[in-house]
């Protein structure tokens, strides 16, 4: 850690205020070039404490930058991790107010829901599949608080990995009945295909993202508790949306989920 607790709290307030007021800011590493990974997660944890103090509930966890496309683009080998609060939930087929967000983008993700705790080190894909109750389709709405989505890894971790909204739906499936590497996804905006891909785009197998989250938490003395919803990371590039846009995700053998920006 290179930041003191007062600085961590001030950065959390700055980033969360931007989230709540739909304003952007410059990346925080411009002011704190020496901040390290622990500092970045400490700011994210401080944002979580601010929300919990206001009565929010954590409804899930997420892995980000897990697709080969995004990892190459950012030049990284380890994904980043964040939390999902109840205020992020959009009901399946529901509406998301664009004016509440800064410059939202949507991305298709395979969602895992666990039935047993998972903790690293050494968590494997097999353990993740054994501990998964079901998988289902999800659309994550990311909305970096940084101007023009321009950030570095520590800035984006502090900003809770651009988390903003998400919707899940479709048909819950036992992952043992599926080959998630070959699961095809087609995302449409206003009836036009805007992104397509397969599960293997996420770390070779999307369960790998969940295993890496368990290893990350295990290294910090934590775990993925039983009954946790985990967004395993965007399979394709994220797609910008405007008010009026309807986004529909089709996921092979798992049905559809959608939302409309108003
Ligand atoms: C960071 C969040 C990435 C994903 O699924 O890769 C993410 C960003 O690209 O703003 O959620
Ligand atoms: Mg995502």
For the stretch 67-80, pLDDT in tens is: 988 888 788 888 99
Ligand 1: does its nearest atom lie under 6 Å from the Cβ of 98?
no
Can you give the pTM of this predicted structure? 0.97
Question: Residue 24: is its pLDDT beyond 90?
Answer: yes
Q: Report which ligand 1 atom has the smallest distance to the Cα of 144.
A: 10
Least confident of 67-71, 189-193, 215-219, 257-261: 67-71
Contact yes or no for 254/90 (Cβ under 8 A): no
In terms of Cα–Cα distance, which of 51, 28, 46 is closest to 154?
28
Q: Which residues surround ligand 2, an ion (CB under 5 A)?
A: 64, 140, 234
- Pick the ligand that lies closest to the CA of residue 68: 1
Mutate to test the pocket of ligand 1, among 82, 139, 238, 240 (most ligand atoms within 8 A of CB): 238
Q: Report which ligand 1 atom has the smallest distance to the Cα of 107.
A: 5
Contact yes or no for 184/200 (Cβ under 8 A): no
Terminal Cα-to-Cα distance of the chain (whole angstroms): 41
Handedness of CA 48, 49, 51, 57 (dihedral sign): positive
Task: Spell out the residues 6+ positions from residue 16 whose beta carbon is closer than 8 angstroms to its own.
Answer: 47, 50, 51
Question: Residue 101: is its pLDDT beyond 90?
Answer: yes
The CA distances from residue 139 to 15, 16, 31, 254, in Å, are: 23, 22, 33, 13
pLDDT in tens, 109-160: 999 999 999 999 999 999 999 999 999 999 999 999 999 999 999 999 999 9
């Amino acid at each position: 850690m290179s930041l003191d607790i007062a600085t961590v709290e001030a950065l959390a307030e700055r980033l969360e205020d931007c989230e709540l007021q739909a304003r952007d800011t410059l990346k925080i590493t411009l002011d704190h070039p020496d901040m390290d990974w622990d500092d970045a997660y400490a700011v994210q944890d401080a944002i979580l404490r601010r929300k919990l103090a206001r009565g929010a509930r954590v409804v899930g966890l997420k892995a980000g930058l897990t697709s080969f496309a995004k990892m190459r683009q950012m030049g990284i080998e380890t994904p980043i991790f964040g939390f999902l609060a109840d205020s992020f939930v959009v009901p399946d087929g529901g509406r998301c107010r664009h004016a509440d967000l800064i410059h939202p983008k949507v991305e298709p993700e395979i969602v895992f829901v666990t039935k047993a705790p998972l903790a690293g080190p050494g968590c494997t894909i097999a353990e993740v599949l054994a501990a998964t109750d079901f998988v289902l389709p999800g659309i994550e709405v990311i909305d970096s608080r940084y101007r023009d989505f321009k950030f570095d890894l520590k800035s984006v971790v502090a900003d809770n990995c651009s988390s903003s909204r998400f919707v899940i739906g479709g048909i819950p499936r036992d992952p043992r009945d599926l080959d998630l590497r070959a699961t095809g996804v087609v995302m449409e905006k206003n009836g036009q295909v805007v992104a397509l891909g397969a599960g293997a785009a996420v770390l070779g197998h999307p369960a790998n993202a969940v295993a890496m989250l368990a290893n990350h938490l295990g290294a910090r003395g934590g775990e993925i508790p039983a009954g946790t919803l985990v967004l395993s990371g965007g399979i394709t590039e994220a797609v910008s949306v405007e008010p009026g846009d309807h986004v529909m995700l089709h996921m092979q053998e798992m049905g559809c989920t959608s939302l409309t920006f108003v």
